[in-house]
Structure 1
Amino acid sequence: MYTLKKSLGQHFLRDENISRKIVAALRQRPFIQLLEVGPGAGALTRHLIGLGDVDFKAVELDEEKVHYLQETYPVLQGKLIHASILDIEKPFPGKFTVIGNFPYNISSQILFKMLDWKDDLETIVGMFQKEVAQRVAAKEGNKTYGVLSVLIQAFFDVEYLFEVHEQCFNPPPKVKSAVIRLTPRQAPAFRDEKSFFLLVKTAFNQRRKTLRNAVRSLFDETALVDPIFDRRAEQLSVTDFAQLTWKMR
């Protein structure tokens, strides 16, 4: 069998109904190349390897789980990448889809990794800690709206699909979980990606201040007279941030 490693934040899904719901959400959009992140004991993997005409790979950091999966599902020989998702290169040429019960301790970092691959992603279906899922899906004016919300929503439509009870896992985590789906969207018309990322991160770095005080270093004084700078970062939409990049130094 296998052991659970707290150091890797391992909480394995054991509810078959939830596994089927996640895979059903995945299959609502077509794909031919699929990467599973953190297959663990194979709760999703056992459903994914049966999908016809799909080039499947999985990335797993835990060597013990890699061996377990290879022994349990021989079809996975040559399809498992023994590494951290944060360290690997793009796993396929061309477009691909990502699915996973993402390790909660690095879930935000995984989402930023997905931004690196955004031009090649067709869909992402993932289970996250509920608070992270809510943050990704949050709209302006919400206290959970932040850097992650704006940067993900600039490039993806976010669907908050359903929540998952703690008892659906072994061991039960101390946090709630939720499944979201990300699908690519046309990015807003910002001046350039570097300016957009810098503006968003700078604005939320001092989110309690007005935008004028938080991002003063990025704009000339003449630009800062615009009333939009009276607002705080959490009050600006993704489009607002994009439009402001054209006024940056």
Structure 2
Amino acid sequence: MARPTILEVNDLTFRYDLRKDNNTLSSVSFSVQQGEWVAIVGDNGSGKSTLARLIVGLLEAEKGTITIDNEILSEDTKWRIREKIGLVFQNPENQFIGTTVQDDVAFGLENNNMPYEDMKLKIEDALQLVGMETYRLKDPSQLSGGQMQRVAIAGILALKPDVILLDEAFVMLDPQSRRGLFSTLKYLKENENITIISITHDRNEAALADRILVMDEGKLIQEGTPKEVFSTNNQLEPPFAEQLRRKLNAKGRKVPQTYMTEDEMVKWLCR
């Protein structure tokens, strides 16, 4: 049975300067199903981050519509819609409010008038998910960049939104932290039916998604599964496992002749 559509973008067009003809986004259309992980990739200036800000109502489109959970985004509906979607920026300092880590995670919950005892449990669960429970009383400004980002993500996870939108959110994290959070997001997708939209330059992150959207100069030029996109788009650097497969193939090793995920590569190497 097909999953319901949680996000629909239709004919979206945007210019930062209406006096100029060059569009930042031009007639972008796509939909995302509930519980799906979609990665949006493209070079700098392709319009990825602008798209993220339009989706959460931080910018207003010149043309087109954004529908979230069957409700069209507008000036009248954006506050209700923002309760359903959480945005994590590249720079975590942009999102800090509280004087301690736990205060910062609690901020959104307090705005929702959540009872204190329920709030304590939500904060504890969210901090455990990102591995920051022992830092709950720390001043966020004293944390490393990677730790700050994990706290910012915890603040979103505590709210359990329908959609988590990650705008280059893992750039400042070390590889171990990234792997841990990728596992957390996969768990939330599969067990909580949370939709994930990740805007990223990292091809290994994109390879984890169910589907990839490729942006170029403000246009959506390709979409498909990681296998479909990385097998056909020679302009995109493939994820590590596929790079390894291609190098082994070029050296004459007997490797599978089709795209391989990291898990498939590990299984093949361990035969």
Please say whether Structure 1 and Structure 2 have the same fold, judged by a TM-score greater than 0.5.
no
TM-score scaled by structure 1? 0.36
TM-score scaled by structure 2? 0.34
